[in-house]
Amino acid sequence: MSLPDMQPDEITGEYQEHTLTYHDQSSRRIFVTEIETPYPDGHLIVSRTNPEGYITHLNDSFVEMSGYSRQELINAPHYILRHPDMPAAAFQDLWQTVTSGKKWNGYVKNLRKDGGFYWVYATVIPNIRKNSVVSYTSVRRKPARKKIEHYASLYKTMLSSEHSA
Amino acid sequence: MKYHFTVSPDFTPEHIPGWFIFNTWMQKALSEVIHLELYDNFESQRKAIQSNEIDIIYANPYDAAFLVREKKFAPLVKPTGKSDEAIIAVHESSPFTCVEDLQPGTRISRTDDPDVNMMSMIMLEPAELDKQNTQSCTRDTYILVAKDLIQGNADIGFFLAEAFHDLSKLVRTQMRALVSSHIRIISHSLLVGPRMQPLTDTLLTALTDMSSSSPAVLESLGFDGWTLINEEEMEFMIDLMDTLE
Ligand SMILES: Cc1cc2nc3c(=O)[nH]c(=O)nc-3n(C[C@H](O)[C@H](O)[C@H](O)COP(=O)(O)O)c2cc1C
């Protein structure tokens, strides 16, 4: 299943157009604004995917923060949230860690349906039953501002070296 | 056969009689002898679970993983419309207005309630506070946590939201919630152990009928009713707790 292109009438504010190509070779047009939605205090954004990274479970905070409806998210690939400012290496590290059975932690800038973004501190774990991975669970929480600043600049550097490579 | 029932030690003190009433109700519903054993703290309760002394438990979500995965307990129900949420409170005249105002060296007063402590520590992360750069003092009850705040012995206190709201008005109004959790997925639940699982169907029927058949018993627990938990839902909560651990 490939994701539909983002539509200009769904975007809030001034935007820039990009085309993202995902690991499964599908691609879509996205629109990106500079509008940040602050992470709400005391919330946890929770989701679970199947082993291929398609969303099977999510909570209300996920719906609220992403701007998508529950129907749009269920069975969608988790890369629906991928923001063009995120370097590929961050997600490679995520997948390498969880497929080897370990817990991954990291700071992630996510893309909203309205073109805006929100930063999270994410944990992803593989759910192992009878020695095989049956799903992955992720929980995001509110990151410290200083950490966001640090990772925003680190990811910029990583991204420019990925582009020049 | 005689069975053993226990309740997570974080119940509000007002509900102790309620749990005895519930146990009496349960014995009648099942025509079995069930002994209710209340433990003072999580550690002694865990020891009892570990040595297979418990057959049915109203459990803290933190213990659910261990009960289901290692001790083969099966989830039955959770109280309708209730989820476990945490509140970080400060003295009413505290200078702090948001989590980010808190500084390293913050003095924490808390109980040994594992899920509340976990949720509260997560809520401190935006201020870059953790175990290493804070000081914690563990109290037996939430009243004592409140006392620490009111007397200025601690800067912040960790509360189960329900326990915070159940404090007397006199105590509560001397404090203010700095931040509250909105997690919604985490809740206490009633689980049955292997020895008692043959009685599961009878018990489930009785529990789901309870709001019409025995509303007074529910009221004594402060619950509106019981909602079934399916295995899938329980697994999701356990995965969530695993992720946060
Ligand atoms: C449980 C789980 C949660 C994930 N959460 C996110 C997320 O919040 N944002 C995101 O961009 N990618 C997330 N990913 C990674 C995506 O699957 C994907 O690798 C990433 O968006 C990059 O897309 P690509 O791999 O197609 O290039 C998650 C993966 C898993 C298994």
- What percentage of chain B has pLDDT greater than the value 90? 89
Q: What is the mean pLDDT of residues B100-120?
A: 96
Assigned CATH class of B2-82+186-244: alpha beta
Mutation site, A46, A119, A127, A147, interface B, largest B CB count within 10 A: A46
Instruction: Give the pLDDT of residue A163.
Output: 87
In chain B, residues under CATH classification 3.40.190.10 are 2-82+186-244, 86-180
Q: Judge: A121–B182 Cβ closer than 8 Å, yes or no.
A: no
Single pTM value for the model: 0.94
- Rounded-to-integer distance, Cα B64 and Cα B229, Å: 13
Strand partners, B156: B108
**Which of B24, B58, B38 is closest to B190 using CA atoms?**
B58
Contact B45, B9 (CB under 8 A): yes
Higher pLDDT, A48 or A164: A48
Instruction: Give the pLDDT of residue B49.
Output: 97
Contact A36, A116 (CB under 8 A): yes
Interface confidence (ipTM) of the complex: 0.93
Contact A159, A87 (CB under 8 A): yes
* Residue count of chain B: 245
Nearest CA to ligand 1 atom 28: A78
Question: What residue spans of chain B are helical by DSSP H?
Answer: 16-30, 42-50, 61-65, 114-124, 142-150, 161-166, 169-172, 200-213, 215-221, 231-244
Mutation site, A139, A140, A147, interface B, largest B CB count within 10 A: A139
- Contact residues of ligand 1, CB 6 A cut-off: A 22-23, 47, 49, 53, 78-79, 81-82, 91, 94, 108, 110, 122, 124, 136, 138
Nearest to B184 among A41, A59, A139 (CB): A59
Instruction: Give the pLDDT of residue B44.
Output: 94
Give yes or no for B179 touching A (CB within 8 A): yes
Domains in chain A with CATH codes: 36-164 (3.30.450.20)
Instruction: Give the pLDDT of residue A106.
Output: 98
Instruction: Give the pLDDT of residue B229.
Output: 95
Count CB atoms within 10 A of the CB of residue B92: 12
Strand partners, B41: none
- CATH architecture of the domain B86-180 equals 3-Layer(aba) Sandwich (3.40)
Give yes or no for A53 touching B (CB within 8 A): no
Any residues with CB less than 8 A from the CB of B170 and at least 6 apart, and which?
A: none
Residues of B in contact with A46 (CB under 8 A): 185, 240
Instruction: Give the pLDDT of residue A1.
Output: 61
Q: Judge: A141–B242 Cβ closer than 8 Å, yes or no.
A: no
Query: Does residue A119 have a pLDDT over 90?
Result: yes
Instruction: Give the pLDDT of residue A120.
Output: 98
Q: What is the mean pLDDT of residues B125-132?
A: 97
Nearest CA to ligand 1 atom 6: A78
